[in-house]
Amino acid sequence: MAAEFALLLDLGIIAIFATLLAYFSRLIRQPIIVAYIIAGLIIGPIGLGLITDSVNIAILSELGIAFLLFTIGIETEVSKLLRIGKTIVIGAVLQVALTIFATFEAMQFFGVGFTEATYVALIVAFSSTAVIVKMLSDMKQISTLHGRLLIGFMLMQDVLIILAMPLLANISNIVSTSMLLRLAGNGTILLVLTLIANKFVFPALFRYSSKSKSSELLFLTSLSACFAFIGAALVLNFSIAIGAFLAGIALSGLPYTFEVLNSIKGLRDFLVTVFFVSLGMQISAGFAEFNLALIIAVFVLVILLKPALFFLVSLLAGYGYRTSIFVGLATAQISEFSFIIAASGLAAGLISTDMFSLLILVTAVSMALTPYLMKYSESIYLALGRIFRKFRPVIERAFLNRSIAGLENLPGKELNGHIIVVGAGALGSNIASALQNSQKVIVIDHDPEVVFGHISRKFYAIYGNVESSELWEKANLEKAKLLAITIPDFERALFLVQHARKINRDIAIIARAHYYDEALELYNKGADLVIMPEIISSNVFLQNISKFLESGKRSALTHMQDEYIEFLKEKAAEQKRAFKL
């Protein structure tokens, strides 16, 4: 077999085994990331040993991370980065600092040297943006409260790790003023290049490639933009991952991002597959040289300590028991950036091959475990609630109550004959706004920022979770005349319908549902009316399509457009003022 075809054959083996395992994972309804890692185990050194060109595969896998971060950068709104709230900043910094401290002390306890312990501490401290964003996207939870919190925490972690990575080439850099100044200067140059590309270069370049109607030109332009920033990052002594991420940031906000993402999606997905397969390939038995207690300690730090810290940070910020648990469960893994740190540490001789093997094992296992933790987060939340039922009030009093002061605005006299709106998103907020002047309306939401925004707009509002009996006592559910449940979470809506009907048999209950079987279940449990937004939307579509077909003129669709656009602008500005992060 010709040596020059080794890389091609290795890529073919990776593609075939990844495909077979992906089919099998779909068949048994398991996360595809797990399938890729298992494929790597099978074809790697401790399996069949089919891969011969491991060096080039490692380079391609690093490129896979780079392209993944490139797409994450494209989808990152710079305005959101600049508006990251103090909760996210303080929470992420606190979690990273405490995890580094605990991990470093644990490594020192087990006799690991200072430099190696520092590397391990930094590797363990960060969670995977790629895995978390992919799972949130697959589960359609990007826009949920815990989804928004997780993305905020991960973006802040990415900023911190980007700042930390250049210092790790030599630990002495941390205390070297000249090195820190050089890094700051190089970082500033890279950021200025990003700004120039975003404001002047890329808009013109991609406008031309988009007008050309050539998908090949758009694809090549996107690749060139990514590799140009990778090259600039390498020249300035930053990693290719940082360069790719900043290339994505430079493209973010342009009107062509959707086309760019579509053009590189196939290549990105293949290279990301290579990354996860190579992760499985790099698991070896070298970690067995360590004390079993050390191996267990690293797993505990990643899978228990870090999620616990995220849980406490979120709870302390006032985000509630359920949301805080969901945030914590999603962070029980090691970052893709950490993989780069580990590889650079190994190449520089700063961490041993045995420690590298252990870290790769923990990375692979934790990434494989995350989809299950997120998929079954509701069940885990309920189970933990039963186990720690006695401690939950103590935890909430210690961490939550101090954070929600001022998140309650109720009338001075006892509530009676009022309307309760649960969920203050676009739907709930519009209902409350329409009824506010003629009825006594109480708005309830589990997002403190949303509740604060409504209180600032003179609404009666309460912060809380629907499972809280104390919340319903404050809202006086027993004497309310109408309950409008606008939250999209079916399980919580179902619980609330049953709970409300049990407390107040005469209350009118209106709920929402996405699916027919959910609507039937809500009716069975006591709802008086169930609204299905998608059905209403389809009816509006059909009405307007009929008007157009009857007249044959676009004016049948646009006659109210100016008025509607003004309404949308007004609402968008109002939302931006009230709910600014």
pLDDT tens, position by position, 414-428:
788 889 999 888 888
In 3D space, the residue among 282, 225, 306, 237 whose CA is nearest the CA of residue 61 turns out to be 282
pLDDT of residue 77: 65
Sign of CA dihedral 502, 503, 508, 509: negative
Residue 101 scores a pLDDT above 90: yes
Q: Indicate the range of 53-57, 390-394, 545-549 predicted with least confidence.
A: 390-394
CATH 3.40.50.720 domain position(s) in the chain: 407-531
In the chain, what's the furthest Cα-to-Cα distance? 87
Q: What's the CA gap between 27 and 46, in Å, rounded?
A: 26
Q: In 3-state terms, what secondary structure has residue 531?
A: strand
- Residue type at position 450: V
Structure-token pair, residue 240 = 């290719």
Q: What's the CA gap between 293 and 425, in Å, rounded?
A: 48
Q: In 3-state terms, what secondary structure has residue 508?
A: strand
Radius of gyration of the chain, Cα coordinates, nearest whole angstrom? 27
Residues 67-76, mean pLDDT to the nearest whole number = 78
Helices (H), 331-400: 336-347, 353-375, 377-387, 392-395
The predicted-structure confidence for 158-202, as pLDDT tens digits, reads as follows 778 877 776 665 555 555 677 667 777 888 888 888 888 888 888
The predicted-structure confidence for 459-498, as pLDDT tens digits, reads as follows 888 887 777 777 788 888 888 999 999 988 888 899 899 9
Q: What's the CA gap between 496 and 132, in Å, rounded?
A: 29
Q: In 3-state terms, what secondary structure has residue 83?
A: coil
Most confident of 211-220, 314-323, 480-489: 480-489
Residue 553 scores a pLDDT above 50: yes
CATH of span 3-386 = 1.20.1530.20
Q: Which residues contact 471 (CB under 8 A, 6 or more apart)?
A: 444, 462, 464, 465
> Model confidence at 405, in pLDDT bands (50, 70, 90)?
low
DSSP conformation class of 476: T
In 3D space, the residue among 402, 485, 483 whose CA is nearest the CA of residue 441 turns out to be 483
pLDDT of residue 397: 59
Look up the CATH superfamily of 407-531. NAD(P)-binding Rossmann-like Domain (3.40.50.720)
Q: What's the CA gap between 329 and 59, in Å, rounded?
A: 31
Residue 242 scores a pLDDT above 60: yes
- Which of the two residues, 470 and 83, has the higher pLDDT score? 470
pLDDT of residue 255: 75
Q: List phi, psi (to 5°) of 212.
A: -70, -15
